[in-house]
Amino acid sequence: MKRMKTIKKHSQTAKRPKTVCRRGAAVVLAAAAGAALLAGCGNGTGTDGGAAAPLASESGTQPGGSETQTEQLASATPKVAVPAFTADFEPLTHGDASQIAQTVVYGSGGAYDDTDFSVSDGYASERDDVTYGEYITGVTYFSQTAGMEKTFNIVLPAGYDEDVSYPVLYLLHGYNGDPNEWNAARVVCGNLQASGQMPPCIIVMPDLWTSQESKDGASFMDWISAFSAFPQDLTEDLMPYINSHYSVATGKENTAILGLSMGGEQALVAAFENPGVFGYVGALAPMTGAIDTGGASRFVTSGLKELNMEDPDDIPYYIMQNYDTEEPWDKEATDAYRVSMTENGIPNAFYILAGTGHDGNTWVPGLYNFAGRIFRYGR
């Protein structure tokens, strides 16, 4: 598919009390985590799992919205000018761009100036000349939010040194999934680090199931309920544990979050409910539910009315979303999130892949494009 033009324009609600919602939460529109995941990203458990069908209003949604709407949004004035990179890393390597159907970038400076979302050859393949970090699975911590022990997977960078402070990337899985959905991160990020395109960092892959109820036989509504409590678990339980047990560089400039599908929605909720905490936010084909994305108010699982931040200093340095032309569930939601951010002056990047699907063929390139643009500020 021929690549469409890139539309670019020069370049953040108050915090709410946290509410734990474990059972009977409003449902977010269905999307299963991909079963055929690229490069080992995922364990194949993300099938349809009894997910609800999309709303009729989502059928036939045009990728990226109309060009007229995009041009109108681009005329909005960003609240913040994205600073130039302050760390000297190599630029991200790109390859064949024919698989990119469209890009829409609102804002300029820093990572927003790189509007090419293609990937380099072998970016997700293990290389003999690269030393990869240590991958540790099933690490436990106590979640006050869930009232029980929870687990996470973690990748420590190659040559991990407790005398060095490392930025942290949190990777969120999707519906009916688990932390193993992001197994590819060790290789993708390891290759970027070896090429000097990403600093060594700690990668944390949480279990978003935040409930004392068992996953076995859980309904779609149960999954939504368990996920809706995760942002509180993340900021009040997991992040303090990571900061106290590992050598972590704290602050917005050192903290990133990326999620896929239902996890993408939770990444947006976590970031916009906690202004100034995350400097880099990624949502890959995120499900509706972070805000009312149109005719689905009963599905909203946060207290957010819009994706906005009052203080420009709280706005992330980089926000990225994507989906595929054949995305079956989350086009309307992703477009609505982009519109909400842009209308509120929040710089953000969005791109559409051609013919990949709601699976690892979208998630893994998304990880590459996100990871290669983060942790370059204030270091």
Structural domain contains residue 191: yes
- Rounded to a whole number of angstroms, the CA Rg of the chain reads 19
Structural domain contains residue 365: yes
DSSP 344: T
Please state, rounded to an integer, the average pLDDT across all residues of the chain.
84
User: Average of pLDDT values for 83-90?
Assistant: 95
Q: For residue 102, what is the domain's CATH number?
A: 3.40.50.1820
Q: Cα 94 from chain centroid?
A: 20
Q: Are 282 and 321 in contact (CB under 8 A)?
A: yes
Task: Give the strand pairing for 148-156 and 202-206.
Answer: antiparallel
The percentage of the chain sitting over the pLDDT mark of 90, rounded to a whole number, equals 72
pLDDT, tens digit, for every residue of 106-162? 999 999 999 999 999 999 999 999 999 999 999 999 999 999 999 999 999 999 999
Q: Are 334 and 363 in contact (CB under 8 A)?
A: no
Q: Which two tokens stand for residue 13?
A: 């609600």
Query: Considering its fold, how many domains does the chain have in total?
Result: 1
Closest Cα partner for 318 from 350, 277, 347?
A: 347
DSSP 39: G
- Provide the residue range defining the domain that includes 74: 6-371
Structural domain contains residue 379: no
pLDDT at 65: 55
Instruction: In whole angstroms, give the CA distance from residue 174 to residue 360.
Output: 11
- Would you tell me how many other CB atoms lie within 10 Å of the CB of residue 219? 11
Which residue in the block uniquely carries the two structure tokens 């490392």?
166
pLDDT at 15: 34
6 pLDDT exceeds 50? Answer: no
pLDDT, tens digit, for every residue of 277-321? 999 999 999 998 999 887 666 566 798 999 999 999 999 999 999
User: Average of pLDDT values for 69-96?
Assistant: 89
Task: Give the strand pairing for 348-353 and 100-106.
Answer: antiparallel
pLDDT at 301: 75
Structural domain contains residue 376: no
Structural domain contains residue 55: yes
Closest Cα partner for 301 from 218, 219, 232, 217?
A: 232
Structural domain contains residue 1: no
Structural domain contains residue 261: yes
pLDDT, tens digit, for every residue of 245-276? 999 999 999 999 999 999 999 999 999 999 99
Instruction: In whole angstroms, give the CA distance from residue 144 to residue 141.
Output: 10
pLDDT confidence bin for 66, thresholds 50/70/90: low
372 pLDDT exceeds 60? Answer: yes
Instruction: In whole angstroms, give the CA distance from residue 45 to residue 376.
Output: 35
pLDDT at 11: 36
Q: At what angle do helices 331-343 and 67-74 cross, to 10 degrees?
A: 30
Q: Which residue has the higher pLDDT, 10 or 209?
A: 209
71 pLDDT exceeds 90? Answer: no
Closest Cα partner for 322 from 253, 259, 228?
A: 259
Report the C-alpha dihedral over residues 46, 49, 52, 54, rounded to 10 degrees. 30
pLDDT at 35: 32
Closest Cα partner for 155 from 265, 242, 235, 267?
A: 242
In degrees and rounded to multiples of 5, residue 263 shows phi and psi of: -70, -30
pTM: 0.85
**DSSP-assigned letters across all residues of 289-307:** -SS--SS-GGG--SS-SSS
Q: Which two tokens stand for residue 186?
A: 């060790």
User: Average of pLDDT values for 47-52?
Assistant: 31
Structural domain contains residue 155: yes
